[in-house]
Amino acid sequence: MQVDLAKLCPQVVELSRKAGAFIRKERQRFNTDAVELKGKNDLVSYVDKESEILLVKGLREILPEAGFITEEGTTGENPESYEQLEGYHWIIDPVDGTTNFVHSLPPYSVSIGLTWGRTPVLGVVYEVTADECFYAWKDGGAYCNGEPIRVAPVTDLAQSLIITGFPYRVFSDLGRLLDIIKHFTLHTHGVRRLGSAAADLAYVAAGRGEGFFEYNLKPWDVAGGVVLVQEAGGFISDFNGGDDYVFGRELVAAGPIHPQMQKVIAEYWNQTPTQP
Ligand code: IPD
Ligand code: CA
Ligand code: CA
């Protein structure tokens, strides 16, 4: 059954704001004793888990037939494999940018994507600290707090600002990444690391910076943001220009500079990995 995405979107926006209000309130009284480690540098707290529970409850009411893929796994419903997804799934990151949240550094966001099969059809990213809600649905356009957004029109890589993420858990590909960062540092306006992949995608969709790339991403980091970029007139691919960017762990998202940016990334990425 196909749903009316234009009708669904405002309900998801309202829910993301509710989760955002909870995160903002908890930040005011947050104590780092509440931080747990899921693995090396992989932080989590009750704020992530309770935000996820709130989102799941609301999304079940909005679209009862949809399944869930969530970072904290609170539903116990995450599929074992993402190969054969059928029907609708909500893909949720209840706090994207937990390290930023813990250190009280913007941005951090709530990210909600809806997929049909393996294809994202609706995305909402609520950046908590600036109270900015970015949302888009397939063929419906992209918006921030009610205003339409577009990717930046810059066509020359040399005139662009590039956003990325640095690894903090798995460092085996650091050598290739540093080569790419070196290239962009020398040949663009600069490189930024903001700390929330969902916000990074939303900012590219809104024309703040021209492109974003990162590897080792999870579906919940990107499922909310990819529709924003596409509906704002941008392009997304994996590092080799293919379309496995939601479940394939690597992504390049950009406006008109996408082909130039993707070519540089693929050139370095396809070299034999070296340690820095
Ligand atoms: C992380 C953020 C960060 C990115 C990491 C993600 P989390 O998500 O999106 O910007 O570099 O790859 O894991 O762990 O804060 O939800
Ligand atoms: Ca995340
Ligand atoms: Ca998270």
Report pLDDT for 43.
83
Q: Is residue 84 part of a domain?
A: yes
Q: Determine which residue's CA is closest to atom 16 belonging to ligand 1.
A: 96
Ligand 1 center–CA 3 separation, angstroms: 30
Q: What is the mean pLDDT of residues 222-241?
A: 98
- Closest residue by CA, ligand 1 atom 13: 217
For position 135, which CATH number holds?
3.30.540.10
pLDDT band at 33 (very low <50, low <70, confident <90, very high): confident
Domain boundary among 124, 148, 172: 148
Q: How far is the CA of 111 from the centre of ligand 3 (A)?
A: 9
pLDDT exceeds 90 at position 167: no
**Which of the listed residues 103, 119, 148 is the one where a domain comes to its end?**
148
Residue 96 alpha carbon to ligand 1 centre in Å: 6
% of the chain exceeding 90 in pLDDT: 89
* Position 38 pLDDT exceeds 90: no
Measured by CA distance, the residue closest to atom 2 of ligand 1 is: 196
**What is the pLDDT confidence band of residue 169, given thresholds at 50, 70 and 90?**
confident
Q: Which of 96, 108, 251 to mutate to test the pocket of ligand 1 (most atoms within 8 A of CB)?
A: 96
Annotated binding site for Mg(2+): 71, 93, 96, 221
- Ligand 1 binding site (Cβ under 6 Å of any ligand atom): 93, 96-99, 165, 195-197, 214, 216-217, 221
199 and 126 co-located in one domain: no
Q: What's the token pair of residue 276?
A: 């820095």
> pLDDT value at position 144?
98
Q: In angstroms, what is the span from residue 180 Cα to ligand 3's centroid?
A: 26
- 48 shares its domain with 176: no
157 — pLDDT class (breaks 50, 70, 90): very high
- Partners of 96 in beta bridges: 109
Instruction: Confirm whether 276 is domain-assigned.
Output: no
CB atoms within 10 A of CB 5: 18
Q: Does one domain contain both 37 and 102?
A: yes
Domain of 215 in residue numbering reads as 157-269
Extract the tokens encoding 108.
């951090």
Q: Is this prediction's pTM over 0.95?
A: yes
CATH number, domain containing residue 228? 3.40.190.80
* Nearest ligand to the C-alpha atom of residue 196: 1
Q: Which atom of ligand 1 is nearest to the CA of 100?
A: 15
Q: What is the pLDDT of residue 275?
A: 60
Please tell me whether residues 9 and 93 are part of one structural domain. yes
> What is the per-residue pLDDT across 61-118, written as a single tens digit (0 to 9) for each?
999 999 999 999 999 999 999 999 999 999 999 999 999 999 999 999 999 999 999 9
Residue 214 is classified by DSSP as E
Q: Is 104 helix (H, G, I), strand (E, B) or coil?
A: coil
Final residue in a domain of this structure, among 110, 131, 148 = 148
Q: Which ligand is nearest to the CA of 167?
A: 1
Tell whether 218 and 87 lie within a shared domain. Answer: no
pLDDT of residue 273: 67
- H or E segment to which residue 26 belongs: helix 5-28
- Buried/exposed 241-266: b ≥16 CB within 10 Å, e otherwise: eeeebbbbbbbbbbbbbbebbbebbb
- Same domain for 128 and 14: yes
Q: Are residues 166 and 262 in the same domain?
A: yes
Residue 13 sits in the same domain as residue 92:
yes
Q: For residue 274, name the pLDDT band (cuts at 50, 70, 90).
A: low
The environment of the single-atom ion ligand 3, i.e. residues with CB closer than 5 A, is 71, 93, 95-96
Number of domains comprising the chain: 2
Query: Between 5-28 and 46-62, two packed helices, what is the crossing angle to 10 degrees?
Result: 160
126, part of any domain? yes
